[in-house]
Structure 1
Amino acid sequence: MFALVNIIAMIAQAVVMLVIIQFVIGLLFSFNVVSPSNGFLMQVYRSINALLDPVLKPIRRLLPETGAIDFSPLVLIIVLNAIVYILSDVAMRTV
């Protein structure tokens, strides 16, 4: 059971890192630190978006419209951490 929880925790950490990388690249594009015409960085950004959009779209539909600020990545991070904590607690209680 512990091995399964650890694997899920590692996957959750990887997803959180992808969300953070997506956020940072988006900020770099928004503040013109890096030009969106930078082919490599744009491809990385599109790839991460392709991975995360299926997970973030349902969250975006549930959240109220907040204008320019997208809170769905924050909600995703909180939900993933909650799942890992709950599974860890269940694994500890089964011992």
Structure 2
Amino acid sequence: MVLVTLYQIIDLLLTVLWWIIMIQAILSWLVVFNVINTHSPFIRNVMVALDRITEPLYRPFRRILPDFGGLDFSPLIVLLLIYIIQNILLPNAMRTMVAPY
């Protein structure tokens, strides 16, 4: 019972993180294409908050990846890792811990 709850909490946190990264990516595209104004305090606060949440996740990958001329692939790598954890590692770990010997 405790393992199932822990699995659900981890899965929920990873899903929330996935959505945060997606929202940040969409907002950054909207800023680049001048659809939204970054002079708005609300938009600026949202962008800063999202950046503070995601920057520690992106930083290790930004150090490793070469410069792609303004394109940042670190969010894509983090999303890929979230997918691998949610759909491969967690279910297999759950089956291993719950399965009787």
TM-score (norm 2): 0.87
Runs (4+) off by over 3 Å: none
Report the aligned-residue RMSD: 1.1
- What pairs up with 1:4-43 in 2 under 5 angstroms? 4-43=6-45
Alignment length (residue pairs): 95
Q: Are 1:74 and 2:71 an aligned pair?
A: no
- Deviation string, structure 1 residues 4-62 (Cα, Å, up to 9, x no partner): 12211111111110001111111111101111111101110111101111111111112
Higher RCO (CA 8 Å, separation ≥ 6 residues): 1
Taking only the aligned residue pairs, the percentage that are identical comes to 26
Runs of at least 5 residues in structure 1 that lack an aligned partner in the other structure: none
Q: Which runs of 5+ in 2 are unaligned?
A: none
Partner of 2:94: 91
User: What residue identity is the alignment partner of 1:60?
Assistant: R
